[in-house]
Structure 1
Amino acid sequence: MSDGVGAVTPGEEYAAAVLGIVRRIPVARAMTYGLIAEIVAEELGRGGPRQVGNVMAGSGDRYKHLVPDDAVVIGPAQDTFEVPWWRVVNAAGSPPARHLTAALEALRAEGCPLTKDGRRVDLKSAIWFPPPAAT
């Protein structure tokens, strides 16, 4: 996480907002890239699903410094992941193709509702919306 010494770039600001939302997705729930993008755009006025995907692709290394040092995600897919990447899916409920097997295994282990064929998240049952920010 930024130590306050250096300024955060606009890209890092966006990534921090995305990762902050993703870290809050509860076990057995999911969000889409588009939904995350809409929520971040309300706050920052920029970005879209592709930008969220780019952040998620770099969440293990490129943006690791934006995740608090004491961050721990509870879930069966990991012992050391600070960001539950497997809970972010596309608009059809599909996890990232490159990590399909690992994501589906993690989602199943969490009890996340999947479609009958078991290859996508049942978004009608599993979608999660963050509560509104306190004013």
Structure 2
Amino acid sequence: MREELVEAVLQVAALVPAGKVLSYGDIAELLGTAGPRQVGRVLALHGAAVPWWRIVRADGSLPAALVQQAREHYRLEGTELVVPSGPARTMLPRVRMSVARWMPGERDFERIESISAALGAKLSAATGGMDA
């Protein structure tokens, strides 16, 4: 995994405020040079230093192994969850994306664009100016 991509994903993840989330795909789209699976892989390998629980699947879920750890963070931050009840109660809780998805403000977008531009420049330099 390219160090430049790892750095950029972690920088964007660190911007997400408490109580809000982005999906792996949101970060991939914001950076413009990765896919959701690459973002997920970066967080799986290097995400301990950032609020990893704020980056979720598009449906608001996390891998089952992370749900219990994340629930305490969500409770402390006031992140709204969908908790299945009735026959579906065996399903894991997930973040209510319609409420919790972070919509970056103008200053946040400027920071993200700067991160994305730096990533693109580093990748371009590493490939001798050829598309990465």
- 1:90 is the counterpart of 2:67: no
Could you tell me how far 1:116 is from its partner in structure 2? 4.3
- Measured in 2, the distance between the counterparts of 1:82 and 1:18 equals 12
- 1:18 is the counterpart of 2:12: no
Partner of 2:80: 113
Structure 2: gaps spanning 5 or more residues? 85-91, 114-132
Partner of 1:55: 42
Contact 1:27-1:110 within 8 A present in 2 as well: yes
Could you tell me how far 1:96 is from its partner in structure 2? 2.3
Structure 2 residue identity aligned to 1:26: P
Structure 1: gaps spanning 5 or more residues? 1-9, 61-80
- Measured in 2, the distance between the counterparts of 1:37 and 1:97 equals 22
Could you tell me how far 1:47 is from its partner in structure 2? 1.2
Contact 1:14-1:40 within 8 A present in 2 as well: no
Q: Deviations over 1:101-133 (max 9, x none)?
A: 111221122100111437010111100133321
Contact 1:33-1:52 within 8 A present in 2 as well: yes
How does the TM-score come out when normalised to structure 1? 0.68
Partner of 1:126: 100
